[in-house]
Structure formats: C-alpha cells, structure tokens
C-alpha cells in the first residue's frame, strides 16, 4: 500500500517536468550565417564622405548579430569579422561547413546615377527567393523614410557563387545606395539610432518574419549544428 501511495505522489511531478509545446518552440535555435560583403577596402565607395561599402557591411552585420543573439533563439556565425577580403568560395564554403539554416549577405549598392536610392534583393535558387522576398518586404518599408525618392528595386535573380553554391536558403541584400550623397551622409553616422542601425533592425525583423512562416528553416540542406540543447531537430 505504501508503494502505491508513493507512485501516485510521483506521477504529478513527472508530468509537471515535461516541457510544453510552447516552451519547446520558445527554445528553438536557428543558425544564421551572416556575410558582410567585400572586405579589404573594396565594393562601393563614396568619395564625398570617404565611405567604403565593406566597412558599412561589417558594421551592419555586427549590429544585426547583436540583435539576433539578444533574441535568444538564434546562433550567429559570420564569414568575416574584420576588414580582410573573402572570396565567394570562402563565403559559401564557410556557411555550408557550419550547416547554417539561412545565409544573409549584407551589401550597400551603388549606381552611376547618384540621384537614385533604394533597396533590392538578389536570389538564385527557389528557396533563396522566398527568403529574399521576405527580407525585402520588411526592409524596404523600414528604410523608406528619406527626404528624397527611395525606390523598391525588387527581386533579381543573380548567379553569384554565394547564392549558387550555398546549401541553405540565401539572399544578397542590397540595402541602400552609397552613391547617393544624402544616403552616404546618413550612413556616416554610427550612433545607436543611425541609418546603419535601421538597416540591422529591418533585417532582424525580416529574419523573424521568415522563420515565423518557415519554422523548419525553409527546406534547405542546412540544419543548424546547434551545440547548446534544446535545439531545432
């Protein structure tokens, strides 16, 4: 009789210890590979403000990384963490090697027409297009707050090695036009409420929206080698 009573007392404790569906979902971890474009003082350049694209890309990526890590359901790796130049092969090979769930390549754009400004997203594979569209759908409205015309240049299929050879959904985000002097002036500010922070916040919000609609990571061949369970299966 004593053993029977003890068993009855232990059963509620056992069930209380089981995680709920909502708590498991809250602990889901996605592995995001951030790719700050260019490096080594390359990419677009605005001589009026002495701004190189690669420096802006890296700063925006670091800000985005901080937002993702603070969220608690992301792990983040970056293809570069300093001003060193990385080839396309370096970039997709790294993201593939860690089995990232998504790859987001961060760029600022440039044009021979310095009067235009705006955002666009590049993709190649079908899974890329889903990610690129979701990011752009959030990014463009968030940055469309300038005193000049800010254009949505839309989605474009682009045969970059980063997009061609990545195992996971990948998007190359051309966030703004560095060749526009008004935009370059905004980008020269490195404060906590700067244009760079706006770019990072918009990309973070886009990534959040993407995973909300694609909780399994979008069907790529990544998988996120999560090292701190509980992790996405």
All domains of the chain in start order, with CATH: 32-213 (3.40.630.40)
Measure the CA–CA gap between 141 and 137, rounded to whole angstroms: 7
- Residue 130 neighbours by CB under 8 Å, 6+ apart: 169, 210, 214, 218
> Residue 21: its pLDDT value, please?
35
Which tokens in the block code for residue 151?
A: 């254009």
Measure the CA–CA gap between 138 and 141, rounded to whole angstroms: 6
> Using CB atoms within 10 A of its CB, is residue 2 exposed (0-12), middle (13-18) or buried (19+)?
exposed
Q: Are 127 and 220 in contact (CB under 8 A)?
A: yes
Number of alpha carbons in the 13 Å side-chain half-sphere of residue 230:
9
Please report, for residues 84, 96, 189, the alpha-carbon distance to residue 220 in angstroms, rounded to integers and kept in the order given.
29, 11, 37
Q: Are strands 170-177 and 102-109 parallel, antiparallel or unpaired?
A: parallel
> Residue 12: its pLDDT value, please?
46
> Residue 15: its pLDDT value, please?
39
Positive or negative CA dihedral for 158, 123, 126, 90? Answer: positive
> Residue 41: its pLDDT value, please?
86
> Residue 42: its pLDDT value, please?
83
> Residue 26: its pLDDT value, please?
47
Alpha helix segments (H runs only) across the chain:
2-17, 21-26, 53-71, 88-97, 126-143, 161-164, 181-187, 195-213
Tens-digit pLDDT string for the chain (233 aa): 555 444 444 444 433 444 443 333 345 699 999 999 998 888 999 999 999 999 999 999 999 999 999 999 999 999 999 999 999 999 999 999 999 999 999 999 999 999 999 999 999 999 999 999 999 999 999 999 999 999 999 999 999 999 999 999 999 999 999 999 999 999 999 999 999 999 999 999 999 999 999 998 755 555 665 554 444 43
Q: Are 103 and 170 in contact (CB under 8 A)?
A: yes
> Residue 6: its pLDDT value, please?
43
> Residue 217: its pLDDT value, please?
75
> Residue 16: its pLDDT value, please?
42
Taken as a whole, the chain contains a residue count of: 233
> Residue 5: its pLDDT value, please?
44
Q: Are 117 and 49 in contact (CB under 8 A)?
A: no
Q: What is the DSSP letter of 99?
A: T
> Residue 220: its pLDDT value, please?
58
Burial 113-146 (b: 16+ CB within 10 A, else e): ebebbbbbbbbbbebbbbbbbbbbebbbeebeee
> Residue 27: its pLDDT value, please?
56
- Nearest in space to 80 (alpha carbons), one of 72, 70, 68, 88: 88
């Amino acid at each position: 009789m004593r053993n029977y009573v003890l068993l009855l007392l232990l059963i509620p404790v056992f069930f209380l210890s089981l995680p709920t569906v909502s708590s498991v979902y809250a602990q889901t971890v996605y592995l995001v590979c951030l790719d700050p474009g260019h490096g080594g003082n390359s990419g677009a350049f605005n001589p009026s403000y002495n701004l190189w694209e690669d420096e802006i890309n890296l700063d925006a990526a670091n800000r985005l990384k901080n937002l993702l890590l603070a969220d608690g359901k992301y792990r983040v790796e970056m293809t570069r963490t300093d001003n060193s130049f990385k080839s396309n092969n370096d970039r997709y090979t790294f993201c593939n090697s860690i089995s990232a769930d998504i790859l987001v390549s961060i760029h600022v754009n440039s044009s021979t027409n310095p009067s235009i400004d705006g955002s666009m997203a590049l993709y190649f594979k079908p899974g890329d297009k889903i990610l690129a569209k979701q990011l752009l759908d959030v990014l463009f409205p968030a940055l469309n707050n300038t005193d000049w015309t800010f254009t949505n240049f839309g989605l474009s299929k682009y045969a970059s090695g980063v997009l061609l050879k990545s195992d996971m959904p990948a998007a190359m985000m051309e966030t703004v036009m560095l060749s526009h002097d008004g935009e370059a002036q905004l980008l020269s500010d490195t404060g906590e409420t700067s244009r760079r922070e706006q770019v990072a916040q918009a990309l973070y919000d886009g990534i959040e929206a993407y995973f909300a609609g694609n909780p399994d990571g979008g069907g790529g061949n990544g998988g996120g080698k999560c090292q701190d369970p509980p992790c996405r299966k």
